[in-house]
Structure 1
Amino acid sequence: MKHTLVTALVLVVQLSLAQKSIPADPNATEETVNLCKNLMKLQHERLMFGHQDDLAYGNGWVYEEGRSDVKDVCGDYPAVYGWELGHLELGDTYSLDSVHFHKIQGWIKQTYARGGVNTISWHLRNPLTGGSSWDTSSKKVVRSVLPGGEKHELFVTYLDRLAEFLQGLQTEDGTYIPVLFRPFHEHTGSWFWWGKNLCTPEDYKALWRFTVNYLQNEKNIHHVLYSYSTDRFKTTNEYLERYPGDDIVDVLAFDLYDRGPDYAKAVKTCAEVVCEQAGQRNKLATMSETGGPIATNTKWWTETLLGTLKPFDLSYVLVWRNPWKPAGHGAFAPYKNSPDSEDFIRFYKDPKTLFQKEVTQLKLYQ
């Protein structure tokens, strides 16, 4: 009798967790709810592969319709496509990576039509100094954009332009296209104006909450899944120090680049915490940005990346862009005849990884 009662209580708790609002936004569109729920199921089975700006440009080319460095190598597109909105807040026509915003909207629509997943980052300018996201000359920036701050009204114009872009993500029949959005990312580091040493945990949380609440309540944006994305960390407390709350977060994520021999160990530490917390909170888990020395470590895909991530229930891993002009870094994904191509094909064929062709069949938005 006691065993039966305990079993029943466990089932009640599990059912309660399953019935938590998914996504966190109670007014999320049907397609957004479906995407979130389907990704929740999928992450326990497969790992989607993503690439930043995959359709926009690549090694030695730009704006070639239908082209992708990833597809050039393995014959398939990524399952997840990353896009950058930096400079949108200024009213510019193209991003800080020189990609036109109307084209990004077009590729997001194209990706949605074939069942892929879109994720957005935003390296927005420093509203206090006028500098870039990397301008860390002042510790007053976050406080200045909060309600009552001297740059609050300017920051609201930034959000208005973001909202206009998001509102433009519609199909011909008016269906809003769901996107994953990771604002104010890598905040466990201090290289952005919203970073760890540039603001208090309370101000960072307030920045997050104002942003999400403004988009949802003032701009009626309900087709976004919000990603809380740190850089490397060592403990659960460090990861959650600036966590804004389960009620406005859908995805627990981390960014981590391979810059040395401690990479695999650091990834394991971060993935363990993120997956554990995602499970407890009924959230998606991802490795939202990474990249490695693929030009010299020609088994990086199968041994370093996949070998480390296989045990974990992560929805996707996304590698950064392949610049078409000098950018201070090389390619983070394979390209035709690149030294890592053969290993990437093995990565593609592994039963754990998931690319566009299979994702299309899953109908994630239904």
Structure 2
Amino acid sequence: MITRLFSISLGFSMLFSTASAQLTDQKATTATVNLYKNLTRISGKEILFGHQDDMAYGVGWKYKEGRSDIKDLTGEYPAVFGWDVSGLEGDKKENIDGIPFSKMKQYIRNAYDMGAVNTLSWHMDNPLNGKNSWDTTALSVRSILPGGTQHTLYKSWLDKFAVFIRSLKGSDGKGIPILFRPFHENGGHWFWWGAGSCTPQEYKELWVFTIQYLRDRKQLHQLIYVFNPCDFKTEEQYLERYPGDDYADILSFDSYQYGAGPEKGEQFKKEIAGSLAIQHKIAIRTKKLSAIAETGFVEIPDVKWWTKVLAEAIKMDRPSYLLLWRNAGYRETEKDNHYYAPYPGHASAPDFLDWLKNDTILLQQGIRKQLIYK
């Protein structure tokens, strides 16, 4: 154990040196560079806590000024706010979860103004047939690569995304830095960009073209790029679709617990710890940040899940941040309860508060003191 802890400490000192924190975008804005350097400085010491759609809605409420299930429970907002821009490509007024983009812009601005971090994913519609991102029609990725039948359409989608990003300004008038996580969960078989629908080479080509187009053609310099595989057991599997060190800034993965009971909790704990160990090793070598981009346990039926499962899973190779998925509450169409963070009155709330208190987890007030954009 002593050897293991020394190894972790040495790894942190190698990985989390601000002197080595270099973004892939050499023209990144000052605020974006500062954000990355400060996330690097903090990593290994404290973990930023995040929550998807936190200010937009929660269990039993929607679009109430100043509300947040996390804030209602803890007295402060998360340190990281997750959003999804699915719908931009189709000129929709609302995203995939019903959030008007006009409101999302304000929420992103609020998060930036309070010194917190914003991250964006994109459940992009299938460009080959107009269906949603879960349509796994073959050749969809190939169709939007240079020379493909839908390449021009895809560029128009990136143009719309660029307009949206440029519209994100803080109260200080500066462009808001964004952790951008496109084509996520790339090792899975449920998205049209996943392992079941395109080759590793096609995925890499798509990733590289997308970053080059946004960075070089559209001159977007406030994006920090987050790579996101899933379902990997080895370093080779993790890197199978990795586009290269010049096209990713943060390494991340998604992992959820499915099924209740001690055995399921132990299984999840081992999976997270194993995934973090693999990712952490790669992050040290490539001088990238390590994160858990999505995680959680729907409805949290285990009242000690936070301290006995999640905390144990991340204690050896600590991610720079982790983000719980959204609190949609009761969904009429699915006839289920869909939430991943506790709220006042939830049975796991006391344990959640114990975890935050005892495991150096930063929420909004804590991250604000770090002056991450300065």
Structure 2 length normalisation: TM-score?
0.91
Between the aligned partners of 1:267 and 1:302, the Cα distance in structure 2 is 14
Between the aligned partners of 2:61 and 2:285, the Cα distance in structure 1 is 44
Alignment of structure 1 residues 198-347 onto 2, 5 Å: 198-260=197-259, 261=264, 262-326=267-331, 330-347=338-355
Where in structure 1 do 4 or more consecutive aligned residues deviate above 2 Å?
A: 17-21, 171-174
Aligned residue for 1:363, secondary structure, equals coil
Task: Give the aligned residue type for 1:43.
Answer: S
Task: Give the aligned residue type for 2:369.
Answer: Q
Which stretch has the larger CA shift, 260-269 or 214-223?
A: 260-269
1:166-207: CA deviation from partner (whole Å, max 9, x where unpaired): 011113553111010100000111100000011011100001
1:40-89: CA deviation from partner (whole Å, max 9, x where unpaired): 11111011110000000000100001100011111121110000111111
1:294·1:340 contact (CA, 8 Å) conserved in 2? no
Between the aligned partners of 1:81 and 1:313, the Cα distance in structure 2 is 19
User: Corresponding residue for 1:177?
Assistant: 176
Aligned residue for 1:196, secondary structure, equals coil
Q: Structure 2 vs 1, CA of residues 48 and 172 (structure 1 numbering), >3 Å: closer, same or farther? A: closer
Between the aligned partners of 1:353 and 1:177, the Cα distance in structure 2 is 24
- Please report the RMSD computed on the Cα atoms of aligned residues, expressed in angstroms: 1.6
1:319·1:332 contact (CA, 8 Å) conserved in 2? yes
Q: Unmatched 5+ residue regions in structure 2? A: 1-13
Q: Does residue 71 of structure 2 align to residue 87 of structure 1? A: no
1:49·1:354 contact (CA, 8 Å) conserved in 2? yes
Aligned residue for 1:36, secondary structure, equals helix
Q: Structure 2 vs 1, CA of residues 217 and 49 (structure 1 numbering), >3 Å: closer, same or farther? A: same
Task: Give the aligned residue type for 2:347.
Answer: P
Between the aligned partners of 1:156 and 1:114, the Cα distance in structure 2 is 33
1:49·1:317 contact (CA, 8 Å) conserved in 2? yes
Q: Structure 2 vs 1, CA of residues 126 and 329 (structure 1 numbering), >3 Å: closer, same or farther? A: farther
Task: Give the aligned residue type for 1:159.
Answer: L
1:79-113: CA deviation from partner (whole Å, max 9, x where unpaired): 10000111111110110100011111111111111
User: Corresponding residue for 2:3?
Assistant: none
Which stretch has the larger CA shift, 332-341 or 142-151?
A: 332-341
Identity of aligned residues (%): 43
Aligned residue for 1:205, secondary structure, equals helix
Between the aligned partners of 2:21 and 2:211, the Cα distance in structure 1 is 16
In the TM superposition, what is the alpha-carbon distance from 1:351 to its structure 2 partner? 3.9
Q: Unmatched 5+ residue regions in structure 1? A: 1-13
User: Corresponding residue for 1:61?
Assistant: 61
Aligned pairs, number = 351
1:294·1:300 contact (CA, 8 Å) conserved in 2? no
User: Corresponding residue for 2:152?
Assistant: 153
Which stretch has the larger CA shift, 278-287 or 164-173?
A: 164-173
2:273·2:316 contact (CA, 8 Å) conserved in 1? no
1:26-51: CA deviation from partner (whole Å, max 9, x where unpaired): 00111111110110111110111100
Which stretch has the larger CA shift, 251-260 or 348-357?
A: 348-357
1:232·1:266 contact (CA, 8 Å) conserved in 2? no
Between the aligned partners of 1:36 and 1:288, the Cα distance in structure 2 is 16
1:189-230: CA deviation from partner (whole Å, max 9, x where unpaired): 110000001101110000101111100111110001000011
In the TM superposition, what is the alpha-carbon distance from 1:361 to its structure 2 partner? 0.8
Between the aligned partners of 1:52 and 1:106, the Cα distance in structure 2 is 15
In the TM superposition, what is the alpha-carbon distance from 1:329 to its structure 2 partner? 5.1
In the TM superposition, what is the alpha-carbon distance from 1:20 to its structure 2 partner? 5.2
Alignment of structure 1 residues 73-112 onto 2, 5 Å: 73-112=73-112
Between the aligned partners of 1:19 and 1:351, the Cα distance in structure 2 is 27
Between the aligned partners of 2:171 and 2:65, the Cα distance in structure 1 is 21
